[in-house]
Chain A
């Protein structure tokens, strides 16, 4: 991928690319930002695996905040600055927490799932329930839902991919969502 990908994108295009889960743009952000966060974590009592976990948590925060409009990236530097700051704050929160101290004593590798804000924490629980329920769905349903909600494919594209009519796509998507909802509610 060309290094100047961000130079060719306007502010709106960067935002749109992140919202649409553009793999090229997201990968570049990911690869550019990790070394600096790893260096920070390793310099502050952490290891490579912990750096990866904290970085991925921070990446999700960046992604969600861009989608919500809570953070508007003006360019690649702004994206990297934000990502680094979130990761740094999360790591500092973790290092200050009593859980970190306890885990260090027990040499336990259990890590994270800790958000800085209480609101994020409760949402995280709900997302985990969905994650667990999603793993119980058949592979066709998983593929169908991922294609819609992550890859942002249209009904028409899905109809072509699966060899269905658009009405069948709509019905099957509904059935998959209902199955997923029931699995979550059963928990």
Chain B
């Protein structure tokens, strides 16, 4: 490959790249493939363009990997710095000073709940295939926004649908997910409660999980345990143990 000084015209480049990009179909694809079988020179041209393209992409990727590595090395050095003994000693002293201050217990209480919530909360990944009626398109658009992290935009698609179908459990659940991502926990909580009341919804267990997490944030640990028990998450057991320890 790349052994013969063949000429490749601009038109030929376009045709070869269309093939490599998968832009040919039907008769055009068959004609291209027949030509490849019949003309060794055409095949050589294709190989040359293909290797150039792959080579360019690979060079750029290697350079990208170097950048990733430098970023990683810089993170590691920061991490090592934070791990040095003196800074931990200083941090420990500072901690003692701060904790001796007013409001220690309430502060600790808040941060424990917050820490647990943050540690266990992960965004629902969303759906890939949707409902089966004419609302599909709008729902899908909302789901694309949700997956892209555009929760307010996602609500713009889903809220009108929910107004039309206030008992639709899929909408109730995902609008709640939007609210959770937007940290509007009260709104999210109300919708999740409706999903749970439905009883037959496929989202009941997930709704229980997220409602449990919201209750942790509200320091209502007994209620949190109740909801977490009703979820099907593997992590629920460990989380419940931690809550029980905090209660003691």
A residues with a Cβ closer than 8 A to B are 4, 7-10, 21, 23, 26-27, 30-31, 34, 52, 56, 59-60, 63, 126-127, 129-131, 134, 145-146, 149-151, 170-171, 174, 177-178, 180-182, 184-185
Contacts and interface: CB of A to CB of B under 8 A. Distances in A.
Nearest to B54: A127
A130 B59 contact: yes
B69 interface: yes
Interface string B61-75: 110110011011001
A67 B125 CA distance: 24
B60 A149 contact: yes
22 contacts: A4-B123, A7-B122, A9-B125, A23-B64, A27-B71, A30-B65, A30-B72, A31-B72, A34-B72, A63-B61, A126-B1, A126-B51, A131-B59, A149-B56, A149-B60, A150-B57, A170-B10, A177-B49, A178-B8, A181-B2, A181-B52, A185-B5
Contacts of A134: 55-56, 59
A146 B61 contact: no
Q: Is the interface of B mostly helix, strand, loop or mixed?
A: helix
Contacts of A4: 122-123
A8 B58 CA distance: 27
Given A31-B72, A52-B69, A129-B2, A145 B123 contact: no
B68 A146 contact: no
Nearest to A122: B1
A184 B55 CA distance: 11
Contacts of A31: 68, 71-72, 75
A137 to B, nearest CB: 10
Given A8-B147, A181-B8, A130 B56 contact: yes
B62 to A, nearest CB: 7
B13 interface: yes
Interface of B: 1-5, 8, 10, 13-14, 48-49, 51-62, 64-65, 68-69, 71-72, 75, 122-123, 125-126, 128, 147
A31 B209 CA distance: 30
A185 B8 CA distance: 13
B51 to A, nearest CB: 5
A131 B55 contact: yes
B118 to A, nearest CB: 11
B65 A8 contact: no
Given A21-B57, A150-B64, 12 more contacts: A21-B61, A26-B68, A30-B65, A30-B68, A127-B55, A130-B58, A131-B58, A131-B59, A134-B56, A149-B53, A150-B57, A174-B10
A177 B122 CA distance: 46
* Residue among A126, A129, A171 with max Cβ neighbours from chain B (10 Å): A126
A184 B8 contact: no
A23 B48 CA distance: 28
A60 B62 CA distance: 8
